[in-house]
Each structure stands twice: as structure tokens, then as C-alpha cells.
């Protein structure tokens, strides 16, 4: 049943042109990700995993193929339509934390709510609840430069959760962290998955990928067994 899946990609291709030379980055990707799954996508540099993540996250569109996100075809939507989809359905966690340096922890977490119309929600209270969940309820008035790297990534995770997205995309989320802090962040993501969030993790690190329940390997723009 297709409604069991949050992402269904069928024959997805992506072609770029560099100096009039065709570069095929994705070569007919077929992939289904179930609701509530924790999936890691691995591959060497140039394998196409980042391009695939950009398409799954509606940051880019495929050259051809079909992409259903929560049952809605999004492969051919406009930039404005994709922006709405991203803000309402997808939470992003990146290697670089992308926190506003002049804003407090609470203000950083609330940032995505500025772009949605569901103003009936008390986002400030929701932000405080999420910050408590990620262990930062005593840091809401701090600025990013007053936090450790691990704490900054926890703020980024809280920000990704504020709009209650269907899907969390984590792109090398531990790339700037030491091994101990990396384990703490991955255990936090594991806990978010136990609470029902679908998570897609992009990583080149086998140890980080092992936290996922399923590992997908990419080589030369294709998924390999």
C-alpha cells in the first residue's frame, strides 16, 4: 500500500550541464521509504547522495521521474510550491548549524514559524517544550557563541522539529563534532525516530550509519545492493 510510505521515488534522474557537457548525476533511482523509518544513505564523494537528498528535501527537482512525498507528486512543482512543502513537511539538520549569531536559542528555534500561516499554534511554548526534550531548557536565552558544538546542533534539531514535520533530513549532522558528542546527537535522533519521526541520514561514516535501521548505498548515481 502506497500510503505506508512517506517517500516514493520512481526512475529519478538528474542531469547537469558543465561547459555544454552532460553530467548524469542520478541514473534512474527507485526508492521507497516507509513512514517512521530511520534510513541512512551512504556513498563516496560524487556518488550522487547529496543530489538525491536535495530532491527528497524539495531543494531541487529531478530531470525526469516521479517523486511522491506523503502521497503528493512534487517532482514538477514550482519553487514557491516547493518552499511551502519544505516549510510544512520537512525538517533539515545540516553539518553546519546555520544558527543566527545575534539571536537567542529560543529565537533560532522559532525562525521557521515566521513563514507559516498556522498562527493559532503557540509556537513559543512548543519551542520551550522541544528545547526541554533536547536538553537545552536552561539555555533558551543564550546566544550560539555561548554554546558548545553539540549544544548548537541540538538547537538545530529543535529548529527542525518546531513545525512538526513529517520527515527529518540530516545531512552529515555530526561532521563538525567529536566522537562523544556525535554519539549523543545520534542517540537524540534515534529517540526522535522512536517518537515517530521519519529520518533520512546522509553520511559517509559507517559508524554513524549504523544508528539507522536501514542503510542504502549509492555508487555512480545508482543505488547498489
69 C-beta neighbours (distance < 10 Å), count: 23
| Nearest of 25, 7, 16 to residue 66 by alpha carbon | 7
pLDDT band, very low/low/confident/very high, at 3 (cuts 50, 70, 90):
confident
Q: In whole numbers, what is the pLDDT of the chain averaged over residues?
A: 93
Q: CA-to-CA distance for 119 and 110, rounded, in angstroms? A: 12
| Nearest of 22, 24, 27, 33 to residue 57 by alpha carbon | 33
* Structural domain boundaries enclosing 64: 2-224
| Nearest of 13, 91, 27, 35 to residue 58 by alpha carbon | 91
Contact 189, 167 (CB under 8 A): no
Contact 111, 103 (CB under 8 A): yes
Q: Cβ contacts of residue 18 below 8 Å, gap of 6+?
A: none
Helix axes 179-194, 149-161, angle to 10 degrees: 20
User: What's the domain count of the chain?
Assistant: 1
SS3 category, 17: strand
Q: What is the CATH number of the domain that holds 150?
A: 3.40.50.300
Each residue of 202-221: pLDDT tens digit? Answer: 998 999 999 999 999 999 99
- Residues facing residue 16 across a β-bridge: 23
pLDDT band, very low/low/confident/very high, at 106 (cuts 50, 70, 90):
very high
What is the DSSP-derived secondary structure letter of residue 172? S
Contact 90, 36 (CB under 8 A): no
What is the DSSP-derived secondary structure letter of residue 42? E
Each residue of 139-157: pLDDT tens digit? Answer: 999 999 999 999 999 999 9
Each residue of 55-91: pLDDT tens digit? Answer: 999 999 999 999 999 999 999 899 999 998 998 899 9
Q: CA-to-CA distance for 162 and 168, rounded, in angstroms? A: 11
Decide if pLDDT at 180 tops 90. yes
Q: Can you read off the three cell numbers belonging to residue 177?
A: 563534532
Cα angle 50, 5, 210 (rounded to 5 degrees) comes to: 50
pLDDT band, very low/low/confident/very high, at 119 (cuts 50, 70, 90):
low
Q: Can you read off the three cell numbers belonging to residue 205?
A: 561514516
| Nearest of 134, 168, 163 to residue 151 by alpha carbon | 134
Amino acid at each position: 500500500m502506497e500510503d505506508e510510505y512517506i517517500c516514493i521515488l520512481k526512475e529519478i534522474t538528474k542531469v547537469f550541464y558543465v561547459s555544454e557537457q552532460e553530467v548524469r548525476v542520478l541514473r534512474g533511482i527507485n526508492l521507497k521509504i516507509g513512514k517512521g523509518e530511520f534510513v541512512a544513505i551512504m556513498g563516496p564523494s560524487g556518488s550522487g547522495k547529496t543530489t538525491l537528498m536535495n530532491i527528497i528535501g524539495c531543494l531541487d527537482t529531478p530531470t525526469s521521474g516521479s517523486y511522491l512525498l506523503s502521497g503528493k507528486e512534487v517532482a514538477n512543482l514550482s519553487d514557491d510550491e516547493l518552499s511551502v512543502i519544505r516549510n510544512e513537511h520537512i525538517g533539515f539538520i545540516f553539518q553546519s548549524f546555520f544558527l543566527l549569531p545575534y539571536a537567542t536559542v529560543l529565537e533560532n528555534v522559532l525562525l521557521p514559524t515566521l513563514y507559516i500561516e498556522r498562527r493559532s499554534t503557540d509556537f513559543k511554548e512548543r519551542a520551550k517544550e522541544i528545547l526541554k526534550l533536547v536538553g537545552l531548557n536552561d539555555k533558551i536565552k543564550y546566544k550560539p557563541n555561548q554554546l558548545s558544538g553539540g549544544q548548537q546542533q541540538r538547537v538545530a534539531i529543535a529548529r527542525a522539529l518546531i513545525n512538526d514535520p513529517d520527515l527529518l533530513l540530516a545531512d552529515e549532522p555530526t561532521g563538525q563534532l567529536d566522537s562523544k558528542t556525535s554519539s549523543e546527537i545520534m542517540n537524540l535522533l534515534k529517540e526522535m525516530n522512536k517518537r515517530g519521526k521519519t529520518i533520512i541520514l546522509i553520511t559517509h561514516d559507517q559508524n554513524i550509519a549504523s544508528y539507522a535501521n536501514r542503510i542504502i548505498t549509492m555508487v555512480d548515481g545508482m543505488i547498489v545492493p
